[in-house]
């Protein structure tokens, strides 16, 4: 059996600013999507591949940030070692891998996966592995076909349609070369580190040349800077040039993929995961609302409106009134309380949130410990998964309505298309605003 | 006694309600607007009422026949072939108004107040002039034509009228309710003519016109926003006079008028200033304030409705939020979970997308 490892590139606290205010409460890789931290889905996919020996998180967050997460996943996936390797400075997506090459190669794995943290995906890793073993190249990347308008935001892959060999790879091209993009999922063998060494020395040579040209720049920096290589920009283009790169293109039917860049993008990501579970892992969804004690003095009439519209994830410790209507595409976090006659759709309700009776939450993220009054409305625009740059009256508008942690919304108020920073108290309605 | 009600045209300001129902028949406080006026006139002894209309909808003729019978009065339709303004209709209806040589009332059909016609008649007969105008005090007189009385405002005799005064001279405005002696008809011709601009000023110069202050509230309810405000004022007045007709109970807040055939679900909070018409069904967990729901409309579970007129047989979906003076015409259907702000929806439409900014849905 092929001996495998997995690396998840988690980045650090200075990246993910577009994820504010949600990254103000929790590091972005741990933000819950479909009931689990964003990178839990990565760990889950990696840990299930036969031959997986170790999963390494690489990034520059404080070590403690992942302690609890690591303990949780380690106990769930006890046969795989799961560790965090901390870069003491940001080394770039390639630099971090290169820096920890000895750790990655320890135990002599045949191949290793590298996954970017900020993606939501069906992770067809076993299919990628099977594909790669036929190709005998240094690397296989996972590609996905997207709308041509979006191609220029990603790494663009030009394939030989017969062999799936990558003929050309270019990061964020100015003109559209093909509709296939690189998705931040890579499968490498150990030869990759030789290619990285090559990339580093060519970058160093380039920097030295620039250094010589301008005296003002202190030359000390160059050796460090050369190690800051970027996986896609510096390494993959070199691999493509050396005919060492193949691309496995995901199935538009069975697979899904999207980038999790902005806070709003967690809504479609949550939806994609939940819809995926509905078909592939129905046990990960919630089938019954948590029963609550109903006072015999206030009998609730059985109403056609009540119930769960799948797919929905409700944490077992959440308390959802039986007359509330939840779903589709909703995640409800631990200890959240959803009151009588509440409607929630296409939303993420985080830990310890309270939503009072007869309120309506659509296309929204309600942050930790927030409180929504009764008969209120929290509503975002039903933005499509990748259209994240909608504008309204010249202002950039998020597709989702986002309440940061500990936000309080009064009774009978509408908060529409707003981003609300933590600890705000909203007593009147707001529309299309960022509330500091 | 006789009266003339200036009904006028198509009531375009109150569209989309007036697309399917003539304005005088739109229910205000669960009663056609004009019936408030007719009943008050009848109470003051009026037997002949002229409706000055620029068109004669069959539906209105039918409706009036019913009230003629019920109240034992005669209702005449005086149809203008061309718009005659606010004075011309009096000349057109002169044959009725001259009868018995007794004073007659004239009023604009858009006005809602306590209609103290008996007091007006007594006041009119006491001063002996040709006419009396009811006046009401407003906060911002600069938007209106104001009435200036003789003796520095101490006399009831009107000295002059000032249109949209830029400097404060008076806060009394014409309330659109008058009583005249038949002698006034000599001043009026059957042509387009404005009673305010062409008839009153010469009467004031002759010392023939007086003003009487209207006690209580007054509102021109000719457009949706004022219709809702007027409903609130009228409900307050009802609460003072006949509080028993208003709804009460744990789900009711403030003044709410509810037809006996209207139904409310559980866990609702209805009011203040809400009127629910006959056959209206309100679901569970509904919050409603400052709104009017016309006959046979349905407001479904968990909806939030404020400053809205829900037209006849319309429906508002579950968890919908309507605010900012929404007006739904006849047979309009709003899907679940819709947000509407200031939307005017024409009859027989279904709405399944948000209307975030005031807009007309054709």
CA-based nearest residue to A285, from A315, A253, A256, A258: A315
Dihedral sign for Cα A382, A384, A389, A391, please: negative
pLDDT tier at B277, thresholds 50, 70, 90: very high
Chain A: residue whose CA lies nearest to B357: A431
Per the domain annotation, does A229 fall within a domain? yes
Which of B285, B287, B339 faces A340 most closely, judged by CB atoms?
B285
Interchain CB contact of B339 with A (< 8 Å): yes
Is B318 in Cβ contact with A305 (below 8 Å)? yes
CA-based nearest residue to B280, from B254, B255, B256: B256
pLDDT tier at B260, thresholds 50, 70, 90: very high
CA-based nearest residue to A402, from A383, A386, A422, A388: A422
CA-based nearest residue to B21, from B30, B10, B29: B10
Position A290 scores a pLDDT of 42
The domain spanning residue B128 has which CATH number?
3.90.550.10
Same domain? For B204 and B236 the reply is no
Same domain? For A58 and A199 the reply is yes
For A89, the domain range is 4-259
Q: B106-141 pLDDT, tens per residue?
A: 999 889 999 999 999 999 999 989 999 999 998 888
The answer to whether the CB of A100 falls within 8 A of the CB of A114 is: no
Is A341 in Cβ contact with B284 (below 8 Å)? yes
Position A292 scores a pLDDT of 46
Same domain? For A312 and A198 the reply is no
* Model pTM score: 0.84
Per the domain annotation, does A282 fall within a domain? no
Per the domain annotation, does A390 fall within a domain? yes
Q: Give the residues of chain A that fall short of pLDDT 70.
A: 15-16, 211-227, 287-306, 383-398
User: Tokens 């509102």 correspond to what residue?
Assistant: B219
Same domain? For B100 and B156 the reply is yes
**Going along B34-191, which residue ranges are E strands?**
48-53, 74-79, 104-108, 111-113, 131-137, 145-149, 158-163, 172-180
Per the domain annotation, does A267 fall within a domain? no
Same domain? For A148 and A245 the reply is yes
The domain spanning residue A41 has which CATH number?
3.90.550.10
Position A225 scores a pLDDT of 65
> Which of the listed residues A205, A232, A259 is the one where a domain comes to its end?
A259
Dihedral sign for Cα B162, B163, B167, B168, please: positive
For B90, the domain range is 2-220
**Which chain B residues are closer than 8 Å to A357 by Cβ?**
267, 285
Same domain? For B159 and B248 the reply is no
Give the whole-number percent of chain B exceeding pLDDT 90.
Answer: 66
Same domain? For A246 and A331 the reply is no
Same domain? For A325 and A235 the reply is no
Same domain? For A36 and A125 the reply is yes
Position A216 scores a pLDDT of 55
Which among B164, B225, B240, B241 is annotated as catalytic?
A: B164
Same domain? For A207 and A141 the reply is yes
Same domain? For A221 and A307 the reply is no
Same domain? For A118 and A237 the reply is yes
The domain spanning residue A383 has which CATH number?
2.160.10.10
Separation CA A114–CA A102 (nearest Å): 15
User: Tokens 């479609």 correspond to what residue?
Assistant: A268
Same domain? For B234 and B186 the reply is no
Position B224 scores a pLDDT of 95
Which of B301, B304, B356 faces A412 most closely, judged by CB atoms?
B304
Token pair of B119, please? 């007091």
Token pair of A269, please? 């990501």
Question: Mean pLDDT across the stretch B222-228?
Answer: 94
Chain B: residue whose CA lies nearest to A306: B301
Q: Which residues pair with B343 in a beta bridge?
A: B359
Cα atoms found within 13 Å of the Cα of residue B64, Cβ hemisphere only: 20
**ipTM of the shown complex:** 0.81
The domain spanning residue B293 has which CATH number?
2.160.10.10
Position A80 scores a pLDDT of 95
Position A383 scores a pLDDT of 61
**Which chain B residues are closer than 8 Å to A341 by Cβ?**
267, 284-285, 301-302
Same domain? For A69 and A216 the reply is yes
Is B284 in Cβ contact with A301 (below 8 Å)? yes
Chain A: residue whose CA lies nearest to B268: A358
User: Tokens 């663009």 correspond to what residue?
Assistant: A156
**Which chain A residues are closer than 8 Å to B267 by Cβ?**
340-341, 357-358
Separation CA B115–CA B107 (nearest Å): 10
Q: For chain B, what is the domain count?
A: 2
Same domain? For A144 and A238 the reply is yes
> Which of the listed residues A259, A290, A317 is the one where a domain comes to its end?
A259
Concerning whether B164 is annotated as a catalytic residue, the answer is yes
Greatest Cα pair distance, chain A, in angstroms, is: 84
> Which of the listed residues B160, B188, B220 is the one where a domain comes to its end?
B220
What is the SS3 assignment for B322-341? EECCEEECCCCEECCCCEEE
Q: CA angle at residue A4 from A2 to A7, to 5 degrees?
A: 160
Answer whether residue B176 shows pLDDT above 70: yes
Per-position b or e across B214-234, b if 16+ CB within 10 A of its CB? beebbbbbbbbebbbbbbbbb
User: If you ran DSSP here, which 8-state letter would residue A387 be given?
Assistant: -
Same domain? For B11 and B123 the reply is yes
Separation CA B350–CA B335 (nearest Å): 7
Q: For chain A, what is the domain count?
A: 2
Q: How far is A405 from chain B (nearest CA, A)?
A: 25
Check residues B173 and A88 and name the one with the higher pLDDT: B173
Q: B11-31 pLDDT, tens per residue?
A: 788 889 988 888 889 999 999
Same domain? For B209 and B228 the reply is no
Number of neighbouring beta carbons within 10 Å of residue A100: 18
User: If you ran DSSP here, which 8-state letter would residue B51 be given?
Assistant: E
* Mean per-residue pLDDT of chain B: 92
> Which of the listed residues B220, B235, B268 is the one where a domain comes to its end?
B220
Same domain? For B188 and B291 the reply is no
Is B304 in Cβ contact with A358 (below 8 Å)? yes
- Those of residues 119-138 in A touching chain B at CB distance below 8 A are none
Same domain? For B28 and B170 the reply is yes
Q: How far is A399 from chain B (nearest CA, A)?
A: 14
Same domain? For A184 and A241 the reply is yes
**Which chain A residues are closer than 8 Å to B339 by Cβ?**
377, 379, 414, 416
Check residues B164 and B328 and name the one with the higher pLDDT: B328
Position A394 scores a pLDDT of 46
Is A375 in Cβ contact with B266 (below 8 Å)? no
Same domain? For B200 and B240 the reply is no
Interchain CB contact of A343 with B (< 8 Å): yes
Same domain? For B166 and B203 the reply is yes
Q: How far is B324 from chain A (nearest CA, A)?
A: 12
Question: Mean pLDDT across the stretch B213-228?
Answer: 92
**Which chain A residues are closer than 8 Å to B337 by Cβ?**
343, 345, 360, 362
Interchain CB contact of B301 with A (< 8 Å): yes
What's the length of chain B? 362
Separation CA B159–CA A220 (nearest Å): 95
Is A375 in Cβ contact with B319 (below 8 Å)? no
Interchain CB contact of B285 with A (< 8 Å): yes
Is A416 in Cβ contact with B304 (below 8 Å)? no
**Which chain A residues are closer than 8 Å to B342 by Cβ?**
none
Interchain CB contact of A395 with B (< 8 Å): no
Interchain CB contact of A346 with B (< 8 Å): no
Per the domain annotation, does A295 fall within a domain? no
Same domain? For B16 and B153 the reply is yes
Same domain? For B202 and B302 the reply is no
> Which of the listed residues B187, B220, B253 is the one where a domain comes to its end?
B220
Which of A301, A345, A379 faces B266 most closely, judged by CB atoms?
A301
**Which chain A residues are closer than 8 Å to B287 by Cβ?**
358, 374-375, 412
């Amino acid at each position: 059996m092929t001996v495998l490892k997995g690396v998840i590139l988690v980045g650090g606290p200075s990246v993910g600013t577009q994820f504010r205010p949600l990254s103000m409460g929790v590091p972005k890789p741990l933000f819950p999507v479909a009931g689990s931290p964003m990178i839990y889905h990565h760990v889950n996919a990696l840990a299930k591949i036969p031959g997986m020996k170790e999963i390494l998180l690489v990034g520059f967050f404080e070590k403690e940030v992942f302690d609890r997460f690591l303990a949780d996943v380690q106990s769930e996936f006890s046969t795989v070692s799961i560790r965090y390797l901390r870069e003491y400075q940001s080394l770039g997506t390639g630099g971090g891998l290169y820096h920890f090459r000895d750790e990655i190669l320890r135990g002599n794995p045949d191949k290793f996966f590298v996954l970017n943290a900020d993606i939501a995906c069906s992770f067809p890793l076993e299919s990628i592995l099977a594909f790669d073993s036929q190709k005998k190249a240094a690397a296989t990347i996972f590609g996905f076909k997207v709308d041509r308008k979006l191609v220029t935001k990603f790494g663009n892959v030009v394939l030989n349609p017969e062999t799936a060999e990558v003929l050309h790879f270019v990061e964020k091209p100015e003109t559209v070369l093909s509709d296939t993009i690189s998705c931040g999922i890579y499968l490498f063998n150990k030869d990759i580190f030789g290619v990285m060494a090559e990339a580093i020395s060519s970058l160093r040579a380039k920097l030295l040349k620039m250094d010589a040209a301008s005296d003002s720049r202190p030359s000390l920096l160059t050796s460090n800077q050369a190690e800051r290589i970027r996986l896609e920009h510096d390494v993959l283009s070199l691999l493509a040039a050396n005919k060492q790169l193949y691309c496995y293109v995901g199935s538009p039917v069975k697979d899904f993929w999207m980038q999790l860049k902005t806070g709003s993008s967690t809504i479609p990501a949550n939806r994609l995961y939940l819809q995926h579970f509905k078909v592939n892992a129905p046990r990960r969804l919630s089938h019954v609302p948590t029963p609550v004690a109903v006072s015999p003095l206030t009998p609730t009439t059985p109403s056609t409106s009540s119930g769960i519209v799948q797919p929905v994830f409700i944490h077992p410790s959440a308390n959802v009134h039986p007359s509330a209507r939840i779903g589709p595409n909703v995640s409800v976090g631990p200890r959240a309380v959803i009151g009588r006659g509440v409607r929630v759709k296409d939303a993420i309700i985080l830990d310890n949130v309270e939503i009072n009776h007869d309120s309506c939450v659509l296309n929204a993220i309600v942050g930790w410990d927030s409180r929504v009054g009764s008969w209120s409305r929290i509503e975002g625009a039903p933005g499509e998964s990748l259209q994240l740059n909608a504008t309204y009256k010249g202002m950039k508008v998020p597709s989702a309505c986002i309440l940061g942690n500990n936000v309080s919304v009064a009774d009978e108020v509408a908060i529409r298309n707003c981003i609300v920073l933590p600890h705000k108290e909203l007593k009147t309605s707001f529309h299309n605003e960022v509330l500091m | 006694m006789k009266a003339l009600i200036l009904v006028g045209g198509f009531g375009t300001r109150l569209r989309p309600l007036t697309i399917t129902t003539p304005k005088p028949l739109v229910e205000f406080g669960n009663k056609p607007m004009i019936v408030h006026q007719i009943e008050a006139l009848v109470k003051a002894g009026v037997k002949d009422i002229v409706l000055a209309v620029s068109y004669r909808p069959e539906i209105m003729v039918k409706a009036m026949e019913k009230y003629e019978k019920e109240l034992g009065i005669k209702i005449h339709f005086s149809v203008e072939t061309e718009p005659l303004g606010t004075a011309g209709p009096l000349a057109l209806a002169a044959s009725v108004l001259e009868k018995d040589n007794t004073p007659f009332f004239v009023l604009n059909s858009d006005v809602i107040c306590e209609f103290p016609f008996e007091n007006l008649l007594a006041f009119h007969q006491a001063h002996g002039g040709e006419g009396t105008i009811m006046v009401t005090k407003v906060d911002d007189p600069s938007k209106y034509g104001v009435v200036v009385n003789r003796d520095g405002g101490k006399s009831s005799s009107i000295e002059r009228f000032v249109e949209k005064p830029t400097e404060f001279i008076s806060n009394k405005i014409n309330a659109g309710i008058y009583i005249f002696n038949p002698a006034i008809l000599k001043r009026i011709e059957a042509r387009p003519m404005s009673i305010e601009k062409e008839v009153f000023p010469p009467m004031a110069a002759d010392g023939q016109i007086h003003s009487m202050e209207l006690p209580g509230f007054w509102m021109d309810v000719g457009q949706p926003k004022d219709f809702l405000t007027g409903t609130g004022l009228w409900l307050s007045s009802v609460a003072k006079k006949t509080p028993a007709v208003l709804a009460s109970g744990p789900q009711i807040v403030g003044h709410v008028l509810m037809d006996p055939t209207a139904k409310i679900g559980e866990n609702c909070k209805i009011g203040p200033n809400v009127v629910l018409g006959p056959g209206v069904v309100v679901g569970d967990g509904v919050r409603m304030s400052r709104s009017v729901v016309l006959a046979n409309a349905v407001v479904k579970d968990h909806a939030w409705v404020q400053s809205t007129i829900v037209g006849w047989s319309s429906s508002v979906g579950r968890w919908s939020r309507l605010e900012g003076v929404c007006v739904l015409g006849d047979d309009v259907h709003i899907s679940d979970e819709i947000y509407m702000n200031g939307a005017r929806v024409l009859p027989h439409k279904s709405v399944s997308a948000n209307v975030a900014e005031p807009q007309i849905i054709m």
